[in-house]
């Protein structure tokens, strides 16, 4: 079971209406004893409607339960398994200069990353439940596997920001013509580099490579994060900017919940009083939260209803 929280709960919240924000003293940081939260307090904030504008930040850790490796887990992460591509260093596979020099490694990896048959998992369905209950302000994902957008997960495009792009569309690196993702997929599956039918330039899926501009929708964060009244951060190392810094963009009085195998980013080196860390398996942590919310049955019904629908 996940090691729940780092902060003991000094406050009993049962039965009393939680103020929208913790008393100023608690919100001022500096580690005052009062105002430290536990997972059950986060459940209380959601359950009582004290928090209704939830922003979720997700990383590759929410897709590992669906069988898609993450990037940096030692041994199992993608970056530990790229020897066959003789890259100068692992991240080169997502760098434009290397891609223009040799696109083959990226397309070979793309076959693994754009799963045809992987399905959303309980984490995707939890986020869907937040949406169904009118609580999800936005989901910011770093993942390019597209599991959040699969109809079975049912998270509408309006609520989704794919910060590092996706395979849904592709662009010719020469004439910049845009193509639907599935148009190039047959070539990729055959192990060929897809070429533009107009100018024969290499067509690259609209995945954001290191150094490339972020998609327009990413800048919704300018409005979303100041408005958020709860931030959930699930399955990410918080290593890659500018995505990682978003977690500091919510107001100091807003609780932040990290569910991850390690304590990462500012949760490790500059925690806030209202931070809650559930360190351990992300599925277990989310299931514990669902239990505390009393949503277990609803979640099971949703999974039963939707699981058969998974399709790209």
Candidate residues 28, 32, 73, 80; the one interacting with ligand APR per rule CB under 6 A: 73
* Residue 176: strand, helix, or coil: coil
- How many helices (H) and strands (E) would you count in the chain? 10, 10
Selection from Zn ion, ligand APR, none that 77 binds (CB < 5 to 8 A by kind) is ligand APR
**Best CA proximity match to 205, nearest among 124, 93, 101:** 93
User: Which residues are the active-site residues?
Assistant: 164
Known binding residue 199? Answer is yes
Contact call for residue 262 and ligand APR (CB under 6 A)? yes
Q: Which residues pair with 276 in a beta bridge?
A: 257
Q: How far is the CB of 202 from ligand APR (least distance, A)?
A: 20
Interaction between residue 264 and ligand APR (CB under 6 A): yes
Q: Is 240 in the site for ligand APR (CB under 6 A)?
A: yes
| Residue number with CB closer to ligand APR (40 or 64) | 64
Q: Are 60 and 67 in contact (CB under 8 A)?
A: no
Neighbours of 72 (CB within 10 A): 18
Give the nearest distance from C-beta 300 to Zn ion in angstroms: 48
CB of 170 to Zn ion, least distance (A): 11
Which parts of 48-180 fold into alpha helices (H)?
96-101, 104-113, 122-132
Give the interface segment with Zn ion, choosing from 85-93, 166-174, 218-226, 267-275 (CB under 5 A): 166-174
Q: Among residues 58, 50, 21, 42, which one has the least CA distance to residue 251? A: 21
Q: Is 196 among the annotated ligand-binding positions? A: yes
Binding residues (CB under 6 A) for ligand APR: these are 59-61, 64-65, 70-73, 77, 94, 142, 164, 235-237, 239-240, 260-262, 264, 281-282
């Amino acid at each position: 079971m996940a090691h729940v929280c780092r902060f003991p709960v000094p406050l009993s919240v049962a039965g009393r209406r939680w103020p929208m924000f913790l008393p100023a003293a608690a919100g001022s940081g500096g580690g005052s004893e009062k105002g430290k939260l536990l997972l059950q307090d986060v459940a209380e904030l959601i359950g009582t409607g004290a928090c209704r504008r939830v922003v979720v930040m997700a990383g590759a850790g929410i897709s590992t339960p669906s069988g898609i490796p993450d990037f940096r887990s030692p041994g199992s992460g993608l970056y530990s398994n790229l020897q066959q591509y003789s890259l100068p260093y692992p991240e080169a596979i997502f760098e434009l200069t290397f891609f223009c020099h040799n696109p083959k490694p990226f397309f070979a990896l793309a076959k693994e990353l754009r799963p045809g048959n992987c399905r959303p998992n309980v984490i995707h369905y939890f986020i869907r439940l937040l949406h169904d209950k009118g609580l999800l302000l936005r989901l910011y994902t770093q993942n390019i596997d597209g599991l959040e957008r699969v109809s079975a997960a049912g998270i509408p495009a309006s609520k989704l920001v794919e910060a590092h792009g996706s395979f849904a569309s592709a662009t010719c690196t020469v004439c910049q013509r845009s193509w639907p993702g599935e148009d190039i997929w047959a070539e990729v599956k055959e192990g060929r580099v897809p070429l533009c039918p107009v100018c024969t330039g290499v067509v690259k899926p609209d995945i954001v490579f290191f150094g490339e501009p972020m998609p327009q929708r990413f800048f919704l964060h300018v409005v979303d994060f100041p408005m958020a009244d709860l931030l959930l951060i699930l399955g990410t190392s918080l290593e890659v900017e500018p995505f990682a810094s978003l977690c500091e963009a919510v107001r100091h009085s807003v609780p932040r919940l990290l569910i991850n195998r390690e304590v990462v980013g500012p949760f490790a080196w500059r925690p806030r009083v209202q931070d809650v860390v559930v360190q351990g398996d992300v599925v277990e942590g989310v299931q514990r939260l669902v239990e505390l919310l009393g949503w277990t049955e609803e979640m099971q019904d949703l999974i039963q209803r939707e699981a058969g629908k998974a399709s790209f």
